[in-house]
């Protein structure tokens, strides 16, 4: 099976809602991936921040194999141990009492938060421009990207969007009838946008003053991605009411969580929410393996260290296309001086590195948390050539217009 054949089969059998994907991949190990033609790549996309431990990590393989061989699925009519253990473990990393609702994706984790918000008895919600919370209708109602929303209007109502990072705009929008405010600590899909210092703390104060819940969407930033267990923990004085998780939590298996604290943890009553696969033992066993490995292998330290090495190394290239690098840990955006991120993505792929371009001028890096020195060095060594090639491709594109 070649790249071309697999792509043709994809086109004949799958809906084209993603556009044709870039590359058919057939095998992964750590930060390395291979396509159907046998070409090797270093993975700086990480399944969109999912593959926390890289591909085929022995801890995940072992945990999943052991669990599926003993108890694969029980439904929520019964209790299984892995979701209990995973919820306990998550709450330990939050360092707070709370309650966890398990689901299968980031959008679903935010749907859970949406329902918790409505159960406060208030209906209004406040979210941010450029924010991304998922593609289901409730999560899309919170998403602040007009192009994704418009084909599906009307969405579940009463959501006000305010500029991201602007505490004054937030204060003006949040009123006594606001059920919740939802914020990403760093906007991932919008191009790794980091809010100004003090923004989350201000959001906490504004929501506390009006009795609105503060929901932090850590689907992309959570579970070690930024060098903290959860990114809000890097912000002093910020204790959210709800945190939503997915992506890295399952280490490659579909697993999401709505984690609620204080009064928010008690709002869902029996019968008000659920999903068949929520808390699936196999997915939760993978989640436990991810959390164990992050702890046992000191991966939060590795994330900080490799994140710094990448950031410093990229800026040290002094390449004219590099404006600056933003983000935290191993969620980084290379902000370009020209809108050549798609060209840079293609040039990187041709050079054996998978990256992604969430905005025309931003190249996003979200490699496995296990990323080693060698992969960082290889990327930094190749980057000037990749950017030169992107510049050439951009020049050709322009002259051909
Ligand atoms: N929230 C954030 C911050 C995300 O980045 C994403 C996915 N990119 C989602 C929610 C939606 O997650 P999923 O695709 O698993 O539904």
Same domain? 103 vs 232 = yes
190 lines ligand 1 (CB under 6 A): no
Question: Measured on CA atoms in the order 52, 55, 58, 64, is the torsion positive or negative?
Answer: positive
CATH number at residue 292: 3.40.640.10
Percent over 90 (pLDDT), the chain: 97
- Whether 400 shows a pLDDT value over 60: the answer reads no
Domain boundary pick from 296, 326, 354: 296
Same domain? 172 vs 35 = no
**Residue 391, pLDDT score:** 97
253 lines ligand 1 (CB under 6 A): no
134 lines ligand 1 (CB under 6 A): yes
* Catalytic residue chosen out of the listed positions 94, 230, 241, 247: 247
For residue 247, indicate whether it is catalytic: yes
* Catalytic residue chosen out of the listed positions 217, 230, 241, 353: 217
Percent over 70 (pLDDT), the chain: 99
* Catalytic residue chosen out of the listed positions 132, 261, 353, 379: 132
CATH number at residue 308: 3.90.1150.10
Domain boundary pick from 251, 280, 296: 296
Residue whose structure tokens are 């870039």:
22
Same domain? 169 vs 251 = yes
CA–CA dist 38, 70 (Å, integer): 35
Residue whose structure tokens are 């990393």:
93
DSSP letter at 25? E
**Residue 193, pLDDT score:** 98
Number of separate domains in the chain: 2
Q: Residue 72 has which token pair?
A: 């694969």
Which mutation among 45, 109, 132 tests ligand 1's pocket best, with the greatest number of atoms within 8 A of CB? 132
Q: What is the mean pLDDT of residues 235-262?
A: 97
- 332 within 8 A of 310, measured Cβ to Cβ: yes
Domain boundary pick from 264, 296, 328: 296
pTM above 0.80, yes or no: yes
CA–CA dist 147, 12 (Å, integer): 27
Residue 398's pLDDT band, with cuts at 50, 70 and 90, is: low
Is 275 marked as binding a ligand?
yes
ipTM: 0.99
For residue 148, indicate whether it is catalytic: no
Q: Chain-centre distance of CA 253, in angstroms?
A: 14
Same domain? 111 vs 19 = no
Parent domain of 41? 3-57+300-399
CA–CA dist 378, 351 (Å, integer): 11
144 lines ligand 1 (CB under 6 A): no
Question: Strand, helix or coil at 40?
Answer: strand
Same domain? 240 vs 316 = no
Same domain? 86 vs 151 = yes
**Residue 20, pLDDT score:** 86
Same domain? 170 vs 200 = yes
Is 220 marked as binding a ligand?
yes
For residue 129, indicate whether it is catalytic: no
322 lines ligand 1 (CB under 6 A): no
Question: Strand, helix or coil at 279?
Answer: coil
**Residue 118, pLDDT score:** 97
Residue whose structure tokens are 């930033």:
221
Same domain? 29 vs 106 = no
| pLDDT tens sequence across 135-173 | 999 999 999 999 999 999 999 989 999 999 999 999 999
Burial of 374 (0-12, 13-18, 19+ CB in 10 A): exposed
Query: DSSP letter string over 210-243?
Result: HT-EEEEE-TTTTTTTTSSSSGGGGSTT---SEE
Q: Chain-centre distance of CA 158, in angstroms?
A: 25
Same domain? 228 vs 161 = yes
- Whether 359 shows a pLDDT value over 70: the answer reads yes
Q: Which atom of ligand 1 is nearest to the CA of 218?
A: 3
CA distances from 261 to 64, 98, 214 (A): 29, 4, 10
Same domain? 156 vs 251 = yes
- 201 within 8 A of 209, measured Cβ to Cβ: no
Which mutation among 45, 104, 220, 252 tests ligand 1's pocket best, with the greatest number of atoms within 8 A of CB? 220
Which mutation among 185, 186, 219, 223 tests ligand 1's pocket best, with the greatest number of atoms within 8 A of CB? 219
**Residue 109, pLDDT score:** 98
Same domain? 287 vs 319 = no
**Residue 399, pLDDT score:** 58
246 lines ligand 1 (CB under 6 A): yes
Same domain? 79 vs 53 = no
User: Cβ–Cβ contacts within 10 Å for residue 177, how many?
Assistant: 14
């Amino acid at each position: 099976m070649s790249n071309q054949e697999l792509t043709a089969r994809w086109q004949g059998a799958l809906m084209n809602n993603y556009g044709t994907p870039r590359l058919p991949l057939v095998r992964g190990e750590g930060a390395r991936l291979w396509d159907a033609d046998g070409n090797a790549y270093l993975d700086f996309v990480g399944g969109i921040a999912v593959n926390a431990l890289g591909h085929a990590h022995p801890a995940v393989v072992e945990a999943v194999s052991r669990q599926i061989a003993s108890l694969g699925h029980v439904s929520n009519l019964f209790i299984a141990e892995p979701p209990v253990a995973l919820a306990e473990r998550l709450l330990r990393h939050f360092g707070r009492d709370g309650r966890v609702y398990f689901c299968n994706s980031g959008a679903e984790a935010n749907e859970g938060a949406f329902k918790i918000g409505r159960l406060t008895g208030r209906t209004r919600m406040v979210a941010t421009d450029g924010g991304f919370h998922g593609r289901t209708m409730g999560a899309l109602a919170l998403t602040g990207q007009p192009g994704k929303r418009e084909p599906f209007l009307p969405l579940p109502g009463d959501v006000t969007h305010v500029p991201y990072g602007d505490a004054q705009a937030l204060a003006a929008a949040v009123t006594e009838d606001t059920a919740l405010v939802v914020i990403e600590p760093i906007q991932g899909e919008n191009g790794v946008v980091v809010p100004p210092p003090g923004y989350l703390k201000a959001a906490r104060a504004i929501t506390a003053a009006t009795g609105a819940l503060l929901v932090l969407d850590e689907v992309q930033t959570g579970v070690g991605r930024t060098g903290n267990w959860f990114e809000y923990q890097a912000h002093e004085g910020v204790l959210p009411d709800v945190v939503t998780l997915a992506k890295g939590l399952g280490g490659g298996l579909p697993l999401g969580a709505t984690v609620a604290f204080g009064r928010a943890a008690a709002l869902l009553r029996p019968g008000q929410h659920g999903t068949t696969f929520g808390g699936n033992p196999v997915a939760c066993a993978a989640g436990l393996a991810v959390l164990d490995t992050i702890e046992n292998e000191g991966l939060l330290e590795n994330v900080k260290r490799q994140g710094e090495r990448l950031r410093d190394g990229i800026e040290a290239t002094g390449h004219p296309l590099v404006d600056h690098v933003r983000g935290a840990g191993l969620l980084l955006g290379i902000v370009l001086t020209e809108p050549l991120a798609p060209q840079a993505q293609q040039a990187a792929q041709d050079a054996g590195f998978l990256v992604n371009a969430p905005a025309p001028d931003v190249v996003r890096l979200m490699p496995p948390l296990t990323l080693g020195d060698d992969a960082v060095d290889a990327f930094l060594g190749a980057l000037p050539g990749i950017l030169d090639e992107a510049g050439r491709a951009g020049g050709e594109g322009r002259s051909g217009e």
